[in-house]
Amino acid sequence: MIVAGNWKMFRGPDPRALVGLDAIVCPPYTRLADCVAAGLTTYAQNVHWESEGAFTGEISPPMLLELGVAGSLVGHSERRQLFGETDVGVARRAEAALSAGLSVIACVGETLEQREANETEDVLRRQITALPQDDRLVIAYEPVWAIGTGLSATPEMAQDAHAFIKSLLRVPVLYGGSVKPDNAAGLFAQPDVDGALVGGASLDVDSFRAICQAAASRS
């Protein structure tokens, strides 16, 4: 079971309060060094496909490795929805990070409109087949309609999506979408749910610890 906390554009908790948790943290760039120094498994929230160049606002795999960062998220729904990232761009980011020696959590998922139009599998197939196959690749299924809304897919809905993803690519699949202490155990009980990508609840140490404990109970 893998639990990762995405702090988004929040400063986040004191990294020292998380020492001892079996979890990944994805802080904003300004907190990467603090989290690494605290001994946490630290991932960036995004990474570029070039090692250097005129790409203002981006960060490269070698820069992350120099800091001691272990991996990166790519393709988070907010990057796709708010910043226009495409399947091709997400794949390039993933390939570059993996080739450099970073681990990657690649995010996929459908919007509410796509789900209501019965397009979930088509969307997931398109997003998944663009990604490289690699032992250090993990997929996070995050239905866009459940990100930051308080809504969450039912455990059965998550299981169906995860099973479909694994039919396309045999990698661990995390669930992301309003994961909280009160729904974590039900999600983790599903056979194809291999952990969680936690958003807002990872900003609260007690909530994040409870989710990690639920994952450990399933392991």
Q: Catalytic: 48?
A: no
For the record, the structure tokens of 104 come out as 């990657």
- Let me know if 78 is a catalytic residue: no
Distance, C-alpha 41 to centroid of its chain? 13
Other Cβ atoms within 10 Å of 113 Cβ, number: 10
- 176 has which bridge partners? 197
The CB density around residue 90, as the number of other CB atoms within 10 Å, is 24
Q: Out of 78, 85, 110, 142, which one is annotated catalytic? A: 142
Q: Tell me the angle at which helices 120-129 and 87-100 cross, rounded to the nearest 10 degrees.
A: 40
Q: In the block, which residue shows the tokens 């980011």?
A: 93
Exactly one of 48, 76, 78, 162 is catalytic; which is it?
Answer: 76
Q: Are 196 and 174 in contact, with CB atoms under 8 Å apart?
A: yes
Catalytic residues: 76, 142
